[in-house]
């Protein structure tokens, strides 16, 4: 099946051809005709499914009629992170190469003045993170009353990041009659509530999660002690002995850990960059670029910073921390084994992580095999460590460390 039956304009079809895409992905196939018929769409799809083009391509077709007025964007796309916003902009540039549309990016961490100048010129497509968008709107520099189409992308991540009140405020600033496209990877009740609020009689389009479909990912877990220096030691050993290693993303749960682990890896002469929410925009862009072009082979990242990034061909994922939300595990490992390439995802499991690990295995419907010795059985139950915690210091039993692990070292 080609793109020709979807109702896209010739200009857009020309750009798709130039991009080398032959067949629409399932989300594109199912969503694009409805978008072009001005229906609201509820898309349940993860990054990696081609969901960005599923809204960018019909938007370009629709924007061919009409023109922008100063400070009144015609369409608005909300993204949870600056990186995702920048990636959507890149796609507009790529697929909109035959159009003369004004695209503006309104994200935190860059100058207000430049953004304001773009708004004055008139914007066809405004891609924004919620906080900065509201800043512009509250300063009276931006009117959302001309928005004909609103895209809310990665809605479940917006929820995780606490952006839902901002999204609801933005919802009151755009016209009631606009068309809305709403994308989310998961559908917890709170997201269902927002979707019900924002969408009118939507078409529901759901595509399977790449991680459940990708059988090319080898998943393993490795037992370690609870101290962070022990975990770092385990990680270094895993990286050094990884088979077929080309590059890896190392995930931590918190930005402080990202920074700490990055420093430690660099001290140990590993070629690593860090990506977390406290870095300014230029540092984030530089880190990502150095990883993309192969200058560094390790990217230490938090979930939020890495969400949705399109990084092709990662050979390994290391979960330095077991994610608290099982869905994050699926997102993380989806970074490898893409497009038929094989990949390996290794999770470092400390005794404290057993509950989170069980939740992950329940979600993915399989038990991840241990690499080397499994964790000591006593540590597999959540009640046990708590039980031990009650013993006064010095009287605790020494935990059994798997034989293959190095002895803990002083930091
Ligand atoms: P996304 O899910 O939007 O992050 O897209 C994932 C990747 O798939 C991006 O690198 C897109 O450029 C690419 N892509 C999108 N649509 C197609 C298609 N129909 N055929 C091949 N690649 C595509």
- pTM attached to this predicted model: 0.63
Largest CA distance in the chain: 76
CA separation (Å) from 98 to 15, 17, 28? 7, 12, 20
* Nearest to 76, CA basis, from 116, 38, 43, 125: 125
Q: What CA–CA distance (Å, rounded) separates 12 from 319?
A: 40
Residue 41: predicted pLDDT: 98
Rg from Cα positions in the chain? 23
Q: Which strand (E) or helix (H) includes residue 54? A: helix 51-63
Task: Among 25, 30, 55, 92, name the best residue to mutate to test ligand 1's pocket (greatest count of ligand atoms within 8 A of Cβ).
Answer: 25
Q: Are 40 and 200 in contact (CB under 8 A)?
A: yes
Let me know: does 261 contact 300? Beta carbons within 8 Å: yes
Count Cβ neighbours within 10 Å for each residue of 170-208 and write b for 16 or more, e otherwise. Answer: bbeebeeebbbbbbbbbeeeebeebbeebbeebbebebe
Using N-to-C axis directions, what is the helix angle for 82-95 and 51-63, rounded to 10°?
A: 50
Q: Whose CA is nearest to atom 14 of ligand 1?
A: 50
- CA 268 to chain centroid, in Å, comes to 28
Ligand 1 centre and the CA of 241: distance in Å?
32
DSSP string, 115-129: HHHHHHH--SEEEE-
Considering the chain, what percentage of its residues have pLDDT values greater than 90? 60
CA 24 – ligand 1 centroid, Å:
9
Number of other residues whose CB lies within 10 A of the CB of residue 396: 11
Length of the chain, in residues: 411
| Closest CA to ligand 1's atom 9 | 50
Looking at the CA of residue 23, tell me the nearest atom of ligand 1: 19
Q: What are the distances in angstroms from CA 250 to CA 205, 269, 336?
A: 32, 16, 12
Instruction: Provide long-range contacts, Cβ within 8 A and 24+ apart, for 193-196.
Output: 194/155, 194/159, 194/164, 194/167, 194/168, 195/42, 195/155
pLDDT at 73: 97
Confidence (pLDDT) at 308: 61
Q: Which residues line ligand 1 (CB under 6 A)?
A: 21, 23-25, 28, 47-53, 310
Which residue is listed with tokens 């891609």? 127
- Tell me how far the alpha carbon of residue 185 lies from the centroid of ligand 1, in angstroms: 16
pLDDT of the chain, 411 residues: tens digit per residue:
699 999 999 999 999 999 989 899 999 999 999 999 999 999 999 887 899 999 999 999 999 999 999 999 999 999 998 889 999 999 999 999 999 999 999 998 888 899 999 999 999 999 999 999 999 999 999 999 999 999 999 998 898 888 999 999 999 999 999 999 999 988 888 899 999 999 999 999 998 654 443 457 899 999 998 888 999 999 999 999 998 899 999 999 998 999 999 999 999 999 999 988 787 878 888 888 899 889 999 999 998 766 666 666 689 999 999 998 888 888 888 778 765 567 899 999 999 999 999 998 888 778 999 988 777 654 444 433 333 333 333 333 333 333 333 333 332
Q: Torsion angle, CA of 322/326/331/337, rounded to 10 degrees? A: 70
């Amino acid at each position: 099946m080609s793109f020709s039956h979807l109702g896209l304009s010739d200009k857009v079809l020309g750009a798709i051809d130039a991009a080398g895409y032959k067949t629409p992905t399932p989300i594109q196939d199912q969503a694009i005709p409805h978008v072009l018929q001005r229906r609201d769409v509820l898309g349940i799809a993860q990054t990696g499914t081609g969901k960005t083009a599923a809204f960018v391509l019909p938007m370009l077709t629709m924007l061919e009629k009409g023109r922008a007025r100063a400070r009144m964007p015609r369409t608005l796309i909300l993204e949870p992170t600056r990186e995702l916003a920048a990636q959507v902009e890149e796609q507009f540039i790529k697929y909109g190469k035959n159009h003369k549309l004004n695209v503006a990016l309104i994200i935190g961490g860059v100058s207000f003045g430049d953004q304001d100048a773009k708004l004055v010129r008139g914007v066809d497509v405004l891609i924004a993170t919620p906080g900065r968008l509201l800043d512009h709107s509250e300063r009276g520099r931006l009117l959302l009353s001309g928005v004909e189409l609103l895209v809310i992308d990665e809605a479940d991540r917006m929820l995780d990041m606490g952006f839902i009140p901002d999204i609801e405020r933005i919802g009151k600033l755009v016209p009631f009659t606009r068309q809305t496209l709403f994308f989310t990877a998961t559908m917890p009740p709170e997201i269902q509530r927002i979707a019900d609020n924002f969408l009118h009689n939507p078409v529901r389009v759901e595509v399977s999660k790449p991680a459940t479909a990708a059988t090319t990912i080898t998943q393993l877990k490795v037992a370690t002690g609870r101290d962070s220096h022990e975990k770092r030691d385990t990680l270094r050993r895993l990286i050094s002995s990884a088979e077929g290693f080309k590059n890896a993303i190392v995930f931590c749960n918190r930005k402080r850990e990202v920074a700490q682990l990055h420093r430690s890896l660099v001290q140990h002469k590993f070629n690593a960059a860090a990506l977390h929410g406290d870095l300014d925009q230029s540092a984030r862009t530089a880190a990502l670029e150095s990883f993309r072009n192969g200058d560094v082979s390790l990217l230490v990242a938090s979930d939020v910073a890495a969400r949705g990034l399109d990084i092709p061909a990662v050979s390994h994922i290391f979960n330095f921390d077991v994610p608290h939300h099982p869905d994050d595990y699926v997102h993380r490992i989806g970074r490898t084994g893409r497009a038929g390439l094989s990949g390996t995802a290794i999770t470092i499991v400390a005794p404290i992580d057993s509950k989170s690990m069980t939740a992950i295995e329940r979600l993915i419907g399989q038990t991840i095999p241990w690499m080397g010795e499994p964790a000591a059985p006593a540590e597999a139950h959540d009640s046990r460590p708590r039980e031990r915690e009650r013993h006064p210091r010095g009287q605790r039993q020494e935990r059994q460390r798997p034989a293959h692990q190095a002895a803990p070292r002083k930091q």
